[in-house]
Amino acid sequence: MSEATRKRPDLRGWVVPAALLALWWLATAQEWVDTRLVASPAAVLEAAWQAAVSGELWRGLAASLGRNLSGFALGSLAGLAFGGLLGLSRLAERLVGPTFHALKQIALFAWIPLLSAWFGFGEPAKVAFIALAVFYPVALNSFEGIRSTRRELLEVARVLGLTPTQRLLRLVLPSAAPAIFTGLHLGLIYAWLATLGAEYFFSAAPGIGNTMIDGREHFEMDQVIYGLLVVGAVGLVLNRLAAWIEARALAWRDGGR
């Protein structure tokens, strides 16, 4: 394969979106669908432009990303600490492991009545809801990554006389890093989904979710659809960003390539 061929961008991933966009435009232009329910691409673009010019889009996006990142940070720290505790301590796993594995079977939205009773319906409840969504994948992957450290390597560390801290920093954490980053990657995805859920189920406040709620209540489908597109675009960017960070952080496993 030539250098020019390798550098040529692969556009095959755009085939389906382009086809869907063409079908959407054709369906609304030919009135195959009720445009009161499915706004045309031009109407959605106009609604998005007006929201961007007025600043409504940026205020909503900033509010959603702010609570998203706050919940992600809180849930990640708690998940890393709890997963590390279970992975490093057999006693902790026996004491609280069964309870943890039972609680993770509870659907996330089933926690809403309890969270609203504890934190109300404002920002603390939303952040707690997002943190809870992040906690389980991060904790579970951290636990499994640490626990899967090869016993042979641990035996070699003991023979070499490494201290517990040295074993943790030089052996256990590097070995568990792929699983931990997988948990963080999943946590970032779940955090964005939970952000939209929190904006739907808790009190109204600036956010992309509230933009779509307002559009639905006023029967402005162009606003609902542009909100959906923004949600998808932000989710894609967060996913790509997490994958890039993970690849950079674990580059040492491939010899720095």
Is residue 65 within 8 Å of 235, Cβ to Cβ? no
Tell me the whole-structure pTM to 2 decimals: 0.85
Residue 191 lies in a domain: yes
Is residue 97 within 8 Å of 86, Cβ to Cβ? yes
Residue 16 lies in a domain: no
Residue 49 lies in a domain: no
Specify the amino acid at residue 233: A
Can you give the CATH number for the domain in which 207 is found? 1.10.3720.10
Position 257 scores a pLDDT of 46
Residue 199 lies in a domain: yes
Residue 116 lies in a domain: yes
Cα–Cα dist 217/81, whole Å: 42
Position 165 scores a pLDDT of 76
Question: Going by C-beta distance under 8 Å and a sequence separation of 6 or more, which residues neighbour residue 213?
Answer: 199, 200, 204
Cα–Cα dist 206/234, whole Å: 16
Tally Cβ neighbours within 10 Å of residue 205: 17
Position 1 scores a pLDDT of 46
Give the DSSP per-residue string, 107-156: -GGGGHHHHHHHHTTSHHHHHHHHHHHHHHHHHHHHHHHHHTS-HHHHHH
Residue 122 lies in a domain: yes
Specify the amino acid at residue 85: L
Three-class DSSP category at 32: coil
- Report the domain count for the chain: 1
Residue 25 lies in a domain: no
Supply the range of the domain harboring residue 221.
55-248
What tens-digit pLDDT sequence spans the chain (257 residues)? 455 555 666 677 778 888 888 888 888 888 888 888 888 888 889 988 998 999 888 999 999 999 999 999 999 999 999 999 998 888 888 999 888 888 888 888 899 899 989 998 889 999 999 999 999 999 999 999 888 877 776 677 777 767 777 777 777 788 888 899 999 999 999 999 999 989 888 877 888 888 888 888 888 888 899 889 999 999 999 988 888 888 887 776 665 44
Cα–Cα dist 57/130, whole Å: 21
Is residue 10 within 8 Å of 4, Cβ to Cβ? no
CA-to-CA dists, residue 201 to 33, 101, 138, 196, angstroms? 30, 26, 24, 9
